[in-house]
Amino acid sequence: MANMFNEYKKYVENSSEEEIRKETISWLENTRSSGGFAGFDEEEMNFEELTDDEIYWYFEEWVFPDKFNNGDF
């Protein structure tokens, strides 16, 4: 799991906020298209309309979940 944490740190250090936003939206759209959000609000959500804070939340909680965002796992 430490490798996932290192990948997270590397990605954040080497990516702009706009790149993280774009990749997070892409991840969300791909997850939706594969049925991952069936029955949830995200199933109908326009991800482009999310605020930067909302995108950051999805990035931290879904793309790189909290358990991967620290070195204590």
Could you tell me which residues come within 8 angstroms of residue 63 by beta carbon, excluding any fewer than 6 positions away? 23, 24, 27
Judge whether 73 and 6 are in contact, CB under 8 Å: no
Question: Is pTM, for the whole model, over 0.85?
Answer: no
Could you tell me which residues come within 8 angstroms of residue 56 by beta carbon, excluding any fewer than 6 positions away? 20
* Amino acid letter, 56: Y
Handedness of CA 56, 61, 66, 67 (dihedral sign): negative
- pLDDT-derived band at 73 (thresholds 50, 70, 90) equals very low
**Per-residue pLDDT reduced to its tens digit, 6-61:** 777 788 889 999 999 999 999 999 999 999 999 999 999 999 999 999 999 998 88
pLDDT for 66 equals 61
Structure tokens at 8: 């997270």
